[in-house]
Chains A and B, each alone.
Chain A
Amino acid sequence: MIGHQPFADWSALAAVGALDSDERQRFDAHLAVGCAECERDLAEWSAVAAVLPVALPAVEPPAGHRERMMARLDAETAASAPPRAVPIVGRRVPRWRWSGAVAAGLALAAALWGLWDTRSTLEHERRAIARLEQELVDQRLLTSLVSGKDTVAAPLAGTPTAARAGGWIVWSPSRHAGFIVVHYLPMLPPGRQYQLWAIAGGNPAPAGLFDVDEVGHAALIVSATVEQPDRFAVTIEPRGGRPSPTGPIAMANVAPIDGHDHSAGKKSTQSH
């Protein structure tokens, strides 16, 4: 693509909003002339960046918020009718063009809605509390795992038993806990289960049992009594697991457990 090269690295920057405004304008102009390569890259990096907020602690909008939004929609629709059938060229439909009285009425209606909604959801929320408490424990653990200073991450690879398998483990020695994600592990026959082992000095300690779904994925929080495992391995065991490994190894970490490759700032940076 002629003229593409100067823009080749811009997609990733654009996806996180890091282009300066004049650069963004030039990039948009470049996209507008139909650079398929940049468009594709931008879509891909935007998809990766858009995953970031999923890691945020999920906060529910306040009660009644949805109803207020729907009231806005109705007001907007009424103000700009017919809303969709007629293309309006050359001018923008004013979005907020209602009188103060209408707005006040809507606000009151929304507030009443909110009250009703709060009461009706109370019971539902009460039922969810027990479940949430457990999930809160899990969330806290994960958040602390990620921010923990000693947390390490290591890739896992399949052995010939599960050649396509891959994944990674995040481990916090101080918490004796971690998080594992595996992909493309074969489904096992009934009566068999994958078992994870944390191995220190050649001694494997059981670190959890899991099944994979139909495409070979699994993710789970793991814990083990081992403090400084130098290896993790996944074996195929009878359902329910064994105190020490008996079956074939399906996965193991490719390199010894090690810290992130960011030695430069690990100790010096203090923005936590």
Chain B
Amino acid sequence: MATLPGLPRLPAPERADGLTVSPPAIGSQAASADLVGEMARGERSALERLYDRYGALVYSLALRILGRPADAEEVVQEVFLQAWRDAERYDAARGTLRTWLVTLARTRAIDALRAASRGARRAEVPLAWDAPDPEPTRAEGIGDREIVVGAIAHLSFQQREVLDLAYYQGFTQTEIAARTGLPLGTVKTRIRSALERLRDALCPRPDSP
């Protein structure tokens, strides 16, 4: 048995509607603002440190979406270079550095996927969380991964499926409805309930069971 590091940190302050103000705080956000500040001032080494911290995460995401290492490498470089160019515009109050980078990366990777597959879409891929493990080569962040894997285990198969179709395969709700034969309203509800359950598993409110 192992005690695992990298747990969600302090309870987030409550809002009246019950949503938490801060996102699930997976991973260290300490010094993130400094890092971006240094990038905005043109300090080259700050980009290297950003890459060292998030390169594997961004690459894993791009590889999951695009499938081909060469395509993923290209997207990762674009993402970090865009982060460099846009560092002045990063606002820590609106989201963590990791959220910012992951969102950038997902958008770019999906754009690349769409551009590459206008003619033929990629062959079916297994759900992200059921995919066989490539040989992992990085140890850091393993505690975070376990937390998130455990949280995803709270989702039903149907919830995981809609998230996978949207997030990793780039299908819109209308496309998901067409593919799965579900009513559009069900797709909407399922996506929302999946995110709600994920949030609650990651960041339970202190006063609720």
Interfacial chain A residues near B98, Cβ < 8 Å: 50
Q: Is A120 an interface residue (CB 8 A)?
A: no
8 Å CB contact of B206 from A68, A147, A164: A164
- Judged by DSSP, the binding face of A is mixed
Q: How far is the CA of A131 from the CA of B136 in the complex (A)?
A: 12
Interfacial chain A residues near B126, Cβ < 8 Å: 271-272
Q: Is A199 an interface residue (CB 8 A)?
A: no
Q: Is B134 an interface residue (CB 8 A)?
A: yes
B52 to chain A, nearest CB (A): 8
Interfacial chain B residues near A55, Cβ < 8 Å: 128-129, 145, 148-149, 152
> Are A12 and B191 CB-contacts (below 8 A) given A58-B138, A59-B137, A65-B73?
yes
Interfacial chain B residues near A59, Cβ < 8 Å: 56, 59-60, 63, 134, 136-138
Q: Which one of B18-26, B30-38, B115-123 is at the interface?
A: B18-26
CB–CB B133/A57 < 8 A: yes
- Residue count of chain B within 8 Å CB distance of chain A: 108
Most chain B CB neighbours (cut-off 10 Å) among A72, A181, A210, A272: A181
Q: Which one of A101-109, A214-222, A229-237, A242-250 is at the interface?
A: A214-222
CB–CB B77/A68 < 8 A: yes
8 Å CB contact of B156 from A50, A139, A262: A262
CB–CB A222/B208 < 8 A: no
A256 to chain B, nearest CB (A): 15
8 Å CB contact of A56 from B19, B64, B139, B173: B64
- Judged by DSSP, the binding face of B is helix
> Are A271 and B127 CB-contacts (below 8 A) given A9-B192, A56-B60, A219-B147?
yes
CB–CB B157/A266 < 8 A: yes
A142 to chain B: closest residue by CB: B149
CB–CB A12/B129 < 8 A: no
CB–CB B77/A215 < 8 A: no
CB–CB A183/B206 < 8 A: yes
CB–CB A54/B1 < 8 A: no
Q: How far is the CA of A53 from the CA of B101 in the complex (A)?
A: 11
Interfacial chain B residues near A186, Cβ < 8 Å: none
Q: Which chain A residues in 244-271 approach chain B with CB under 8 Å?
A: 254, 260-262, 264-266, 269, 271
Interfacial chain B residues near A131, Cβ < 8 Å: 139
CB–CB A61/B96 < 8 A: no
CB–CB A219/B7 < 8 A: yes
B69 to chain A: closest residue by CB: A62
B113 to chain A, nearest CB (A): 11
B121 to chain A, nearest CB (A): 16
8 Å CB contact of A69 from B51, B103, B150: B51
A-binding residues in B (CB < 8 A)? 1-4, 7-11, 19-20, 22-24, 26-27, 42, 44, 47-48, 51-52, 55-57, 59-61, 63-64, 69, 72-73, 76-77, 80-81, 84, 88, 94-96, 98-99, 102-103, 105-107, 110, 126-131, 133-139, 141-159, 161, 163, 166-168, 170-174, 176, 187-188, 191-192, 195, 198-199, 201-202, 204-209
6 A-B Cβ contacts within 8 A?
A: A17-B166, A17-B172, A18-B176, A47-B99, A260-B157, A262-B157
